Amino acid sequence: MRTALVTGGGRGIGAAISKRLAKDGYRILLTYCSSSKPAEMVVDEIRNSGIDAVAANCDVTDAREVSLLATHPWVAAGIDVLVLNHGRYDRIDAKLLDIEHLRRTMSTNFEGAFLVWEAVKSQLSNDARICVIGSQLGTRGSSHGADYSASKAALATWARSLAQSLAPEGKRVNIVAPGFVDTDILAGDSSEKRASREQEVPLKRIGTPEDIAGTVSFLVSDESDYITGAVIHVNGGLYLP
Ligand code: NDP
């Protein structure tokens, strides 16, 4: 059976991706860092649908934990799809950002993705598909997320570089850059803020985790066989680079 590894696959966008790829026929190895309960619930839901799934605890900033992940039997058996979805976003005014915070964000969003890739790369199948979850802010920047925007920009250019390097082997790498998506990242919004976000989006709604999962499903399928190194913006028209 084909295997998909989804980092941060236990909640938010990652949970929707895990469930969607399970529907597509992959057994799911998802990772969580601090939220074991939601991760176990996603695993149960997938198993109840007749597809195998398992959750592994892995803080991507901890090189030892990432190398332990690489010893998981499902990784050893071969990974067909790798989704680097995990991420942190702490809203901080760009002019107040300090080096410690910058390092923390880079180490999770960018270096963490690199560490996971490095740990599992020898176990990727010949035609493996890799999908990286970036952000619109990785292109446009943000007054309250300089560290986050920089980390997502680094992630996207790294992934595009990898796409160019891996293409001759038949492996594909693409980036999905969401706009506003209804997860815990937006949970602190007041109802006024949420309404103003909805108005800001030309399609007049906040995105759902399933909107992102559907795009990931396409990008790891045979339907997108001629797409690699692309940044696909999924944002209801909010930002059109
Ligand atoms: P959530 O905050 O809901 O989920 C974040 C996920 O990242 C959780 O599964 C969390 O795991 C995991 N994670 C955080 N830190 C670590 C770490 N150190 N090691 C391993 N895993 C970690 O966010 P979303 O679902 O909204 O975000 C998913 C991705 O989409 C992120 O990369 C985010 O930047 C991106 N994105 C989201 C947007 C949005 O509007 N929601 C917009 C643009 C991009 P755990 O809970 O177990 O700690």
DSSP string, the chain: --EEEETTTTSHHHHHHHHHHHHTT-EEEEEESS-HHHHHHHHHHHHHTT--EEEEE--TT-HHHHHHHTTSHHHHT-EEEEEE-------B-GGG--HHHHHHHIIIIIIHHHHHHHHHGGGEEEEEEEEEE--THHHH--TTBHHHHHHHHHHHHHHHHHHHHHGGGT-EEEEEEE-SBSSGGGTT--HHHHHHHHHHSTTSS-B-HHHHHHHHHHHTSGGGTT--S-EEEESTTS---
Q: Just give the CATH number of 3-234.
A: 3.40.50.720
Atom number of ligand 1 nearest to Cα 136: 43
Ramachandran bin of 187, using left for φ above 0, alpha for ψ from -120 to 50, beta for the remaining angles: alpha
Instruction: Give the rounded percent of residues in the chain with a pLDDT score beyond 90.
Output: 98
Residue 24 vs residues 88, 110, 142, 186: alpha-carbon distances, Å: 27, 28, 35, 28
Which of 61, 69, 88, 193 should be mutated for ligand 1, with most atoms under 8 A from CB?
A: 88
* Predicted pLDDT at 53: 98
* Predicted pLDDT at 3: 98
Instruction: Give the rounded percent of residues in the chain with a pLDDT score beyond 70.
Output: 100
Q: Is 201 in the pocket of ligand 1 (CB under 6 A)?
A: no
Q: Helix 209-219 and helix 12-23: axis angle, to 10°?
A: 50
Six token digits for residue 92:
């901080």
Q: Is 32 in the pocket of ligand 1 (CB under 6 A)?
A: yes
* Predicted pLDDT at 180: 97
Which of 17, 20, 33, 231 should be mutated for ligand 1, with most atoms under 8 A from CB?
A: 33
The model's pLDDT over 140-187, given as tens digits with 9 standing for 90+, comes to 999 999 999 999 999 999 999 999 999 999 999 999 999 999 999 999
Q: Is 180 in the pocket of ligand 1 (CB under 6 A)?
A: yes
- What is the distance of C-alpha 76 from the center of its chain? 22
Six token digits for residue 6:
């989804």
Contacts of 105 (CB under 8 A, 6+ apart): 88, 90, 147, 148, 150, 151
Compute the distance from residue 125 Cα to the ligand 1 centre, in Å. Answer: 26
* Predicted pLDDT at 4: 99
The model's pLDDT over 96-143, given as tens digits with 9 standing for 90+, comes to 999 999 999 999 999 999 999 999 999 999 999 999 999 999 999 999
Q: Is 88 in the pocket of ligand 1 (CB under 6 A)?
A: yes
Find the angle CA(37)-CA(9)-CA(148) to the nearest 5 degrees.
110
Decide if 32 is catalytic: no
Compute the distance from residue 109 Cα to the ligand 1 centre, in Å. Answer: 9
The average pLDDT across 39-45 equals: 98
The average pLDDT across 84-95 equals: 96
